[in-house]
Structure 1
Amino acid sequence: MTDLRTPTRTAAARAIEEAAHRAEPLSLDELNERSALLSRFDRSYLVPTGTFLRVIGHLTRPSPHAVPFRALAIDGRRAFRYHSVYYDTPELRSFHDHRQGRRLRFKIRERLYADSGERQFEIKLKGRRGDTVKHRRPLTGADTPLDTAARAFLADTLHHAYAIAPPLVLGPSLSTDYLRSTFVADGQRITCDAGLVCVDPRTGRTVRCDGGLVLVETKSAEHLTEADRLLHAHQVRPAVFTKYCGALAVLRPSLPANRWRRAARRAFTPEGASAP
């Protein structure tokens, strides 16, 4: 029996691996040098696999007019397993601040790079220009985002960025698992996720993304990139979607989450939902 919490070999998963192996490789050091982008503009798209392969094929193809995108490669791998746990207050302050469009909003998560074992405590803030600003702190051994050191890092980050105090009570509010391939050009990055599985730790309910969709995010210091324009040319428009808010909109239908419901209904298949 398939474990609903484990990413499967969907059409989208095969597509991102195929596209990544066709592209020229890029090391992690080169990625950090050319496109670290801890402060950036993010745009999300829900892309059918056929359209995704055409768009990425164009962006990674050698051209006399542009430097092609290259695929992140580590130890021969071109697609990597990610596990994230989001933390929120009991009343879901981060979710509601995002829903209401508050400028001083943040997301807190632990990210595990499952293939290497690396863990990071991450705080995502909204910058003055509407950009996303990420702050990170490594987690080692038995460290957790609820430890004293991590809470001090959170308090310091929120104080310096927003002059606000951190929440007093935090707990796990969502976990996500997926497969990711990353494509990079100077100052630009495209992350391509497949097989997304989201679990509500409060109820144990699980939801799975449509296996024929690639969750594409373009990330750059500019508002529009070559990838955005190419996706628009293929009639793919940005989606009002984040993994955290979109999944909670489905997993907790009583939440006021109208702004995400249309994209969430498209992203998550009815067959992908499961009670514990």
Structure 2
Amino acid sequence: MTTAQAPLASPAARAVGQAVHAAGAISLAEVNERAELLARFDRSYLVPVPVFLDMAARLTAPGRPDGPFRVLTIDGRRAFRYHSVYYDTPGLRSFHDHRQGRRLRFKIRERVYQDSGERQFEIKLKGRRGDTVKHRRPLTGKDTPLDAPHRAFLAETLHRSYGIDAPAELRPSLSTDYLRTTLVADGERITCDVGLVCDDLRAVRTVRCDTGLVLVETKSAGHLTDADRILHDAGLRPAVFTKYCGALAALHPALPANRWRRAARRAFRP
């Protein structure tokens, strides 16, 4: 099931549309100039609709002291369909490295921006401060991340950043589809995802996110953002949750995934 088929009229999707309807627009070029954040700290939250609406109203208010957050807008569109395919070894090395909290851990994925057709090969690393560092290069035509030039890019990136060899064997492991809206201020972004559907690509299994939750990620150079503080005041704390690891925890109860199990039970419908 792709995002195009996902329940986009869900309570969470309606809440996000309502929240950004009157917000000011910001272009992709300006986002990249003011808040690209390829090296950043990410904090994830599973946010019920009423809490999300309060947070968004406060952040986009015209009278906000530091200026209102604006919403990424491209060709009049404010919500965008994302499709990602994650690659891992046959033994799920990436998953287990994250489970064990290894410093030299990475995720490998193809990301497709479905509304524009743009495709990117992305490698997500952990920096020395625990921040997320993203390396990327375009995919064109029928390119896949398993093609020789992209395998060479992976090998170069891992050797330069970590001094390790790239995995000898990679396979598609999991796909994710969702609808994303992005709020932006100077030096920080907030992504608001709804309609998440995760498909196990090695078995016929699917999980879908609770339709009453917005998956919120705050992204900044390190400091707590106003969004973090608002969510903390509402009793929410960052969830131990990523789309890749949380979905695998939900899809495979036998995996040793205790660190994600609680958030996965909350995020995904039975």
TM-score range, shorter chain: over 0.9
Q: What is the Cα deviation at residue 268 of structure 1?
A: 0.3
Q: What is the alpha-carbon distance in structure 2 between the residues aligned to residue 106 and residue 21 of structure 1?
A: 36
Q: Secondary structure at the match of 1:41?
A: strand
Q: Please, which moves more after superposition, 108-117 or 14-23?
A: 14-23
Q: Which amino acid aligns with 2:49?
A: T
- Structure 1 residue ranges without an equivalent (≥5): 271-276
Partners of 1:218 and 1:196 in 2: how far apart? 18
Aligned residues: 268
Counterpart in 2 of 1:264?
A: 264
Corresponding letter in the other structure for 1:107: K
Pairwise mapping of residues 1-16 of structure 1 onto structure 2 (< 5 A)? 3=1, 6-9=5-8, 10-16=10-16
> Matches of 2:132 and 2:99 in 1, distance apart?
16
After the TM superposition, which residues 44-123 of structure 1 pair with which residues of structure 2 at under 5 Å, given as runs?
44-63=44-63, 65-123=65-123
Q: Distance in 2 between matches of 1:222 and 1:110?
A: 26
Alignment partner, residue 147 of structure 1: 147
Letter in 2 for 1:50: P
CA contact (8 A) 2:2 2:177 kept: no
Which structure 2 segments of 5+ residues have no match?
A: none
Question: Structure 2: how far apart are the matches of 1:147 and 1:93?
Answer: 20
CA contact (8 A) 1:16 1:180 kept: no
TM-fit CA distance, 1:4: 7.4
User: How far apart are residue 223 of structure 1 and its match?
Assistant: 3.3
TM-score when normalising by structure 1:
0.95
Structure 2 letter corresponding to 1:7: A
Query: Residues 4 and 208 of structure 1 are in contact (CA less than 8 Å); yes or no, is this contact kept in structure 2?
Result: no
* CA distance in 2: counterparts of 1:20 and 1:140, whole angstroms: 32
* Inter-partner Cα distance in structure 1 for 2:258 and 2:84: 24
Q: State the distance in 2 between where 1:166 and 1:200 align.
A: 23
Please name the residue that 1:26 is paired with.
26
Task: Note the aligned Cα RMSD (angstroms).
Answer: 1.0
CA distance in 2, matches of 1:64, 1:88: 43
Deviation at 1:64, TM superposition (A): 5.5
Match in the other structure for 1:37: 37
Q: Indicate how the Cα distance of structure 1 residues 161 and 4 shifts in structure 2: closer, same or farther if over 3 A, else same.
A: closer
